């Protein structure tokens, strides 16, 4: 530094910092040889702290206000320096300005997927990201623990450390919460509040206050997301026949509107006929083809508390004619869930109608 620059700094008696950035947390006021004139003005604005460091030892921490640097304002310096008058500065010290405003929209996120156990899907790998807000509340602790002798300290220099801390605690909280992965979105606010309370004491060790932490998104790997989308689509589709009818109608409309002459018309007609057949079957309730008639069904007959048989329908017809079986006799077959009166079984009810009508009189 030339003689003119040195003289300029000697006569500058106002010490202040106007921050033109959005990410500077600490700024060391530059002065030639760290020389500060006796009686210089120190301006500390709102949301700022000023920390005096003399020969590696913190002399004082000042809040917002305007100070005249004299022994009555900095009594601790009387034990560190001898105050002499004259052209040469009476003492040498470093002044660190601490930005105490909130630093917002700081990003955090998982570098690698986190493995968690989901109550519905089992083991799952998830990613998460969000943002957080911090501010310096203990400037002395912040300088001692984080800044050191750095002349300009920005949020980038500490964001990685804070991001790793948040990610680690997030994995612990989510893994032990037991919240199903499909319900995570409904609990972002609660997760953010819980993480803020959980991590704040660790931020305080650095002289920082974690004022807010937000969870913006928790996502699944692409393959898992695709499978989940298919499952969701199946649930939304609902009735498959109705969905196919709709798709057939869409295909018919597209085919009919496609240029290409007779081919497109034929496609549209074929799709229309297929749709008509499907809709006709749906309107018939699917009963156009009856189920096969059961054959060779045999029945057990209850005689008192004893089950006899099984008997074929022909054998039961003979028993009806002889009177050993009537409409109130209990019968059971493998096609029935319980014992029922023979007259209430559709396959046997006709036997009793025949029995009620006598045969023709022989001539």
Query: What tens digit of pLDDT does each residue of 243-252 get?
Result: 666 667 667 6
Average pLDDT, the chain: 76
Closest CA to 80 of 59, 62, 96: 59
Asked if residue 310 has a cis previous peptide bond (ω within 30° of 0), the answer is: yes
Over its C-alpha atoms, the chain yields an Rg (Å, rounded) of 45
The per-residue pLDDT for 80 is 46
Range in 47-56, 222-231, 303-312, 329-338 the model is least confident about: 222-231
Average pLDDT (52-78) is: 73
**In a 3-state reduction of DSSP, which class is residue 73?**
coil
Domain boundaries, given as residue ranges, for the chain: 3-99, 103-221, 238-283, 299-356
Q: State the Cα torsion 259-265-268-274 to the nearest 10°.
A: -160
| Contact criterion met (CB below 8 Å) for 95 and 28 | yes
Counting residues of the chain whose pLDDT is more than 90, the rounded percentage is 18
Average pLDDT (94-105) is: 92
Closest CA to 162 of 182, 197, 134: 134
pLDDT surpasses 60 at 338? yes
Within 13 A of 301's CA, how many CA atoms are on the CB side? Answer: 21
**Residue 290 carries which DSSP code?**
P
To the nearest 10 degrees (0 to 180), the angle between helices 188-204 and 156-177 is 130
E strands, 182-298, in order: 208-219
pLDDT class for 10, splitting at 50, 70, 90? very low
DSSP code per residue over 84-114: --SSS-SEE-EEEEEE-S-EEEEEEE-SSPE
Within 13 A of 200's CA, how many CA atoms are on the CB side? Answer: 15
| Contact criterion met (CB below 8 Å) for 83 and 91 | yes
Closest CA to 45 of 14, 17, 22, 85: 17
Domain 103-221, classified CATH 3.30.70.100, yes or no:
no
E strands, 221-357, in order: 299-303, 306-311, 330-332, 340-341
The per-residue pLDDT for 48 is 93
Q: What is the pTM of this model?
A: 0.55
The per-residue pLDDT for 88 is 45
Residue 2, token pair as written in the block: 């030339």
The per-residue pLDDT for 172 is 83
Strand-pairing partners, residue 62, are 50
Within 13 A of 262's CA, how many CA atoms are on the CB side? Answer: 0
CB atoms < 10 A from the CB of 88, how many?
Answer: 10
Average pLDDT (137-152) is: 88
Range in 91-100, 140-149, 264-273, 304-313 the model is least confident about: 264-273
């Amino acid at each position: 530094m030339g003689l003119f620059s040195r003289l300029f700094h000697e006569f500058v008696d106002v010490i202040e910092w106007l921050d033109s950035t959005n990410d500077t947390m600490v700024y060391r006021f530059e002065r030639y040889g760290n020389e500060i004139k006796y009686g210089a003005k120190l301006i500390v604005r709102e949301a700022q702290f000023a920390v005096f460091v003399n020969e590696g030892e913190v002399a004082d921490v000042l809040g917002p206000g305007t100070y005249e640097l004299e022994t009555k304002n900095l009594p601790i310096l009387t034990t560190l320096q001898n105050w002499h008058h004259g052209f040469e500065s009476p003492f040498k010290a470093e002044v660190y300005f601490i930005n105490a405003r909130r630093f917002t929209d700081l990003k955090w996120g998982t570098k690698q997927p986190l493995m968690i156990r989901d109550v519905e899907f089992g083991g799952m790998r998830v990613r998460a990201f969000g943002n957080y807000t911090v501010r310096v509340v203990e400037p002395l602790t912040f300088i001692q623990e984080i800044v050191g002798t750095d002349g300009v300290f920005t949020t980038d220099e500490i964001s990685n450390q804070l991001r790793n801390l948040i990610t680690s605690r997030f994995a612990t909280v989510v893994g032990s919460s037991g919240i199903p992965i499909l319900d995570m979105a409904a609990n972002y606010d609660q997760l953010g509040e819980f993480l803020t309370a959980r991590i704040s004491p660790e931020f305080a060790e650095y002289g920082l206050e974690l004022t807010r932490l937000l969870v913006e998104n928790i996502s699944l790997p692409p393959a898992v997301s695709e499978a989940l989308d298919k499952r969701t689509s199946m649930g939304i589709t609902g009735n498959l026949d109705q969905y196919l009818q709709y798709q057939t109608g869409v295909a018919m409309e597209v085919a009919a509107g496609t240029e290409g002459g007779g081919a497109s018309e034929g496609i549209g007609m074929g799709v229309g006929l297929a749709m008509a057949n499907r809709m006709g079957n749906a309107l018939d309730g699917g009963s156009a083809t009856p189920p096969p008639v059961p054959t060779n069904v045999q029945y057990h007959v209850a005689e008192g508390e004893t089950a006899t048989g099984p008997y074929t329908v022909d054998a039961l017809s003979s028993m009806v004619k002889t009177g050993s079986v009537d409409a109130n006799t209990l019968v059971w077959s493998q096609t029935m869930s319980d014992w029922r009166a023979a007259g209430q079984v559709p396959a046997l009810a006709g036997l009793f109608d025949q029995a009620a009508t006598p045969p023709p009189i022989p001539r």
